Amino acid sequence: MNSKPKTTVTFYNGLTTIGGPMIEVAYGKSHVLFDLGEVYRPELGLSMEDEDFETLLKYQLIGDVPNFYDPQITGKPIDTKRWEHSAAYISHLHLDHSKALNLLAPEIPLYAGPITAHLLPVLNQDGNFLLPAANKPKNYTRPIISAELNKPIQVGDITLTIVPSDHDAYGATGLIVKTPDKTIVHTGDIRLHGYHPDWVHNFMKAGHRCDMLIIEGTGVSWPERVNEENSEEFTGQKNEKELTKTIVQYQKDNPKRQLTFNTYPTNVERILRIISDSPRKVVLHAKRAELLKKALKQDVPYYYLPEDEKIDALDPNLEISYADLLADDHQYFWQVVGHYDQLQEGGLYIHSNAEPLGDFDPAYKPFIENIEKRGIELVTLRCSGHADIAELKEIIAGFEPKILAPVHTLHPELEENPFGERILPKRGETVTLS
């Protein structure tokens, strides 16, 4: 006699490290997987060519997830008798949540919010964003279904609802998974100090009293830094709106000075706000302008470096010459992406969560030294994409989960659940909800 199926949650990767969560929810013959990223470990010095399937598993950069990856990559068939309904989801377009999406078997549907679904193929058009798919050109991006937000998607016995959230990746979403007897919430990466705290509050309402809340915990990863954040040396910005204001203020305070900046490509909303609020004319490097054009159909002033190839998608009337930018000290606020040796001495460069991202990247220190050596003042203006300790508490209180499962953090044990149980699953562990 068959007993009634139970909901299980398996934690394949991304637990005690920041990034790369891979989690499966299963019920009966249906199962879903989220997300499909790769853990970021620059210290390994691996190039994209080095990252074959074995290497990814060996360094735990991805999870050893059965029955989801492409058999052409794993050499193992998918057990379609056991699993009649499968689907996958990615919460946002950061690489630690998306880079491995081409490894998913082609016949398994992959869902994401509309912005994530539209931007990823553009980001990967040169083939250096995502891991490659089997037997496809390097710049191939497998189909991503642009899901309608807040509208349930049926995967056999399981229902997925993708909801808008807030993170420093444009278009970030969260996920509500319902099986016939349980509700599981996956926050993705989340914060309350971005442009859309109201969306996060709605997400909390929709997932209120869920059976399990899988929450990211980046913000509790560095308990030793708690006092630092309250000190005067802390250069982080309280929220995204403050950050834009500070950038505008630098322009007002420096009417005759070369002013340049860079941000991270996937924080599209930050760059849109910089463009709309800046007193100076904002000029982007052609590659970044192309991203805005292709993904959002937005035209912005741009420039080419001498070595760049022309991009057909861009309006030639909006091109500003690189020579004009190099000579300018009052008209432009422009995105610099290299050749720091050509900038004016005495200028100001704002590094706003651009690459290299920080101390943990071996490229960071030489980068900073190189700019300062040129006599350019370097200002780092950061705003975290992640909830801090207080915000995490607020988010947990908003959901009031029966079980809390912290992932995506160096210290999952520092997230607590006043509303029920807190579990600390091991890599590869399956939890049965009964």
Handedness of CA 388, 277, 172, 210 (dihedral sign): positive
- By CB under 5 A, what part of segment 78-97 binds Zn ion? 94
Pick between residue 70 and residue 240 the one whose CB is nearest to Zn ion.
240
Smallest separation (angstroms) from Zn ion to the CB of 174: 12
Helices 286-296 and 114-123: crossing angle in degrees, nearest 10, is 140
Smallest separation (angstroms) from Zn ion to the CB of 246: 22
User: Exactly one of 51, 70, 189, 269 binds Zn ion (CB under 5 A); which one?
Assistant: 189
| Three-point CA angle 99, 94, 193, nearest 5° | 165
- By CB under 5 A, what part of segment 388-417 binds Zn ion? none
Smallest separation (angstroms) from Zn ion to the CB of 418: 26
Question: Distance of CA 177 to CAs 25, 152, 180, 428, Å?
Answer: 8, 9, 10, 20
Question: Which range binds Zn ion by CB under 5 A, 150-158, 184-192, 314-322, 347-355?
Answer: 184-192
**Count of chain residues binding Zn ion (CB under 5 A):** 2
Residue 157 as a binder of Zn ion (CB under 5 A): the answer is no
Task: Report how far Cα 148 is from the mean position of its chain's Cα atoms.
Answer: 20
Residue 351 as a binder of Zn ion (CB under 5 A): the answer is no
- Please give the backbone phi and psi of residue 281, each rounded to the nearest 5 degrees, phi first: -75, 125
Smallest separation (angstroms) from Zn ion to the CB of 189: 4
Smallest separation (angstroms) from Zn ion to the CB of 214: 15
Instruction: Write out the two tokens for 275.
Output: 């463009």
Of all residues in this chain, which one has the CB nearest to Zn ion in the complex? 94
Task: Report how far Cα 405 is from the mean position of its chain's Cα atoms.
Answer: 20
Smallest separation (angstroms) from Zn ion to the CB of 97: 6
Dihedral, CA atoms, 96, 102, 106, 108, nearest 10 degrees?
A: 0
Q: Using CA atoms, how far apart are residues 397 and 372, in angstroms rounded to an integer?
A: 45
Pick between residue 94 and residue 186 the one whose CB is nearest to Zn ion.
94
Contacting residues for 235 by C-beta, under 8 A, at least 6 apart: 380, 381, 382
Pick between residue 248 and residue 410 the one whose CB is nearest to Zn ion.
410
- By CB under 5 A, what part of segment 114-133 binds Zn ion? none
Pick between residue 166 and residue 189 the one whose CB is nearest to Zn ion.
189
Pick between residue 28 and residue 194 the one whose CB is nearest to Zn ion.
194
Instruction: Write out the two tokens for 363.
Output: 């490229």
Pick between residue 92 and residue 142 the one whose CB is nearest to Zn ion.
92
Question: Distance of CA 26 to CAs 86, 89, 147, 198, Å?
Answer: 9, 14, 21, 31
Residue 193 as a binder of Zn ion (CB under 5 A): the answer is no
Smallest separation (angstroms) from Zn ion to the CB of 91: 8
Residues near Zn ion (CB under 5 A) are: 94, 189
